[in-house]
């Protein structure tokens, strides 16, 4: 029997960790995830204040070992995805990113390619869209996409840039408050919250947390710690 092809997805919480350079903390994870693949299609649609050409150059400078092509320079974006060897999706505004994917009819091509084993790497907004929907993003809804439904590579919700810090004197809702609002209304849908500098990797049918910091799973009224290296596959099965 032929070997079943499985998704190969890396979901980075952020493009930076602390005071490190752009994607510096993630280079080894990106390199390992791509294996020998060097030709990469980059989707810069989450960039709003940063122009897409400038965004591509920024990523090229951070990952000089890769041959990076911006999808916005391709005459036929759907064909570019269909023929891509690997895809990178950058951070920025998740609503704008998802809106452009719908506008350019790229949702299904991305889902099809990833289901066939094409490596996918996203950070921040590029990770947000890997879950069921973007309903647990931290971003301001600066534009309204046709749907909040996302790529659904992992059957749960995601919250990159997670922090439980509450500034002294701050009286607004905390991140935990916001995530528990979601799980109160959607008790059967877990939210995986990951701190900056960490990542979720879905490979060989297994979902794990990469990095040195713990994450959390919000589900119903519960907040459960996630240890680095822990098998999280049961959350998405």
The per-residue pLDDT for 201 is 98
The per-residue pLDDT for 3 is 56
Residues 161 and 130: their CA atoms lie apart, in Å, by: 15
Counting residues of the chain whose pLDDT is more than 90, the rounded percentage is: 93
**Domain spanning 8-235, CATH class:** alpha beta
Catalytic residue among 14, 124, 127, 133, which? 124
**Confidence band for 4, pLDDT divided at 50, 70 and 90:** low
Ranges of H-type helices in 137-221: 175-185
As a whole number, mean pLDDT of residues 196-225 equals 97
CA 153 to chain centre: 10
Catalytic residue among 14, 25, 133, 139, which? 139
The per-residue pLDDT for 92 is 98
> How many C-beta atoms surround the C-beta of residue 96 within 10 A?
19
The mean of the pLDDT values for the chain is 96
The per-residue pLDDT for 1 is 44
Is residue 124 annotated as part of the catalytic site, yes or no? yes
pLDDT one-digit tens code per residue, 83-94: 999 999 999 999
As a whole number, mean pLDDT of residues 25-29 equals 96
Is residue 14 annotated as part of the catalytic site, yes or no? no
Is residue 161 annotated as part of the catalytic site, yes or no? yes
pLDDT at 231 over 70: yes
206 - beta bridge partners?
203
């Amino acid at each position: 029997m032929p070997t079943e092809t499985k998704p190969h997805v890396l979901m980075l919480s952020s493009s930076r960790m602390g005071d490190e350079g752009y994607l510096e903390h993630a280079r080894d994870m990106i390199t390992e995830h791509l294996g020998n693949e060097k030709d990469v299609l980059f989707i810069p649609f989450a960039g709003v204040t940063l122009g897409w050409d400038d965004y591509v150059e920024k990523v090229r400078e951070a990952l000089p070992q890769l041959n990076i092509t911006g999808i916005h320079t391709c005459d036929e974006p759907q064909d570019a995805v269909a023929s891509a060897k690997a895809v990178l999706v950058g951070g920025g505004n998740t609503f704008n990113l998802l809106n452009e994917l719908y506008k350019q009819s790229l949702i299904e091509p991305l889902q099809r390619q990833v289901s066939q084993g094409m490596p996918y790497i996203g950070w921040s907004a590029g990770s947000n869209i890997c879950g069921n929907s973007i309903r647990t993003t931290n971003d301001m809804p600066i534009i309204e996409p046709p749907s909040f439904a996302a790529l659904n590579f992992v059957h749960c919700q995601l919250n990159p840039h997670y922090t439980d810090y509450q500034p002294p004197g701050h009286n607004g809702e905390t991140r935990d408050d916001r995530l528990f609002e979601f799980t109160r209304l959607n008790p059967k849908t877990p939210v995986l919250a990951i701190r900056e500098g960490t990542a979720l990797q879905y490979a060989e049918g297994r979902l794990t947390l990469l990095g040195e910091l713990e994450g959390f799973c919000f589900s119903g009224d519960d907040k459960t710690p996630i240890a680095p290296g822990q098998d999280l596959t049961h959350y998405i099965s």
